[in-house]
Amino acid sequence: MSVQVIQVTEGVWCLRRPSYFACSYIVSTDAAAVAVDVGMDSNAQDFLPALKIIGLTPDRIKAVLLTHWHNDHSAGAAFLQREFGIPVYYNAGDQPFLSRKNASNGFRAWLGKHIPEEGVLVLLRGLLEEAVPEAVSASHFVSDREVIEGAFRVIAAPGHTTGHVAYYHEPTRALFCGDALAVVANQLRLMCRPVTLDLAAARSSALRCLDEDALFICPGHRAPLTKNVQQERQRLKTYLETGGRWPLLG
Ligand SMILES: [Zn+2]
């Protein structure tokens, strides 16, 4: 799978896949490199080649931070943990899916397993199986306001999934919001309504994310927002606070 590498700011890269323009991120400082989400290929083949482009080797990655369990964001995590011993962090709310504890079985599971790990149906694979392709254990369950790897503050952002979190990287002021916010044509938006589990929770999570004084907003799909960030934050915040409805397509 050809992955595009986009530099967000110094030390921050977006890895973008052709399917759904699913984005994961690498933050690399002198001290360490950290990945936020790792893509949809269970052998990390949509992640490792991109690392090479950035000039990093897997042993430089000190942690994988997952925003949520959906397989387009987390399918490669088990492989990276197993092959390179990289610690994986996520919120306990998504553990049943990431540990495959509540993975479906029977026809649903069979059908899910036969969906390829790229292309337009890849998310359906995870949704049918109700789990990632391979169980991944958390080295640590992250919780709201906790700081991970010395620099990533956790923001509980449930709604899209129960255990969805965002991470705010203080040194670069980059907000990794997963699917708590969306960016479409350089505008801040919400995720599609049909893929939002709990609209009320997702609405307050979006507001929590918008409250962060971010210079860069790095969402789970399409492209990071790097211009007019303050104005966009304010615009969506006002829209949500004044009761703006949640559009069907986000
Ligand atoms: Zn998702």
Residues, CB-to-ion distance under 5 Å, ligand 1: 70, 179
Stretch 132-146: mean pLDDT: 95
Q: What is the largest CA-CA distance in the chain?
A: 49
Q: Please, are residues 12 and 172 in contact by the beta-carbon 8 Å criterion?
A: yes
Please name the residues in contact with 247: beta carbons below 8 A apart, sequence gap of 6 or more.
189, 190, 193
Distance 12 CA to ligand 1 centre (A): 21
Distance 38 CA to ligand 1 centre (A): 12
Distance 178 CA to ligand 1 centre (A): 7
Nearest to 55 by CA among 17, 8, 5, 18: 5
Q: Please, are residues 147 and 153 in contact by the beta-carbon 8 Å criterion?
A: yes
pLDDT in tens, 54-84: 999 999 999 999 999 999 999 999 999 999 9
Stretch 201-218: mean pLDDT: 98
Distance 172 CA to ligand 1 centre (A): 24
Stretch 221-247: mean pLDDT: 96
Distance 29 CA to ligand 1 centre (A): 27
Q: Please, are residues 35 and 64 in contact by the beta-carbon 8 Å criterion?
A: yes
pLDDT for residue 16: 97
Distance 30 CA to ligand 1 centre (A): 31
d(CA 45, CA 157): 28
pLDDT for residue 9: 98
Nearest to 70 by CA among 34, 124, 12: 124
Distance 68 CA to ligand 1 centre (A): 7
Stretch 23-40: mean pLDDT: 95
pLDDT band at 31 (very low <50, low <70, confident <90, very high): confident
Q: Quick check: helix, strand or coil at residue 193?
A: helix
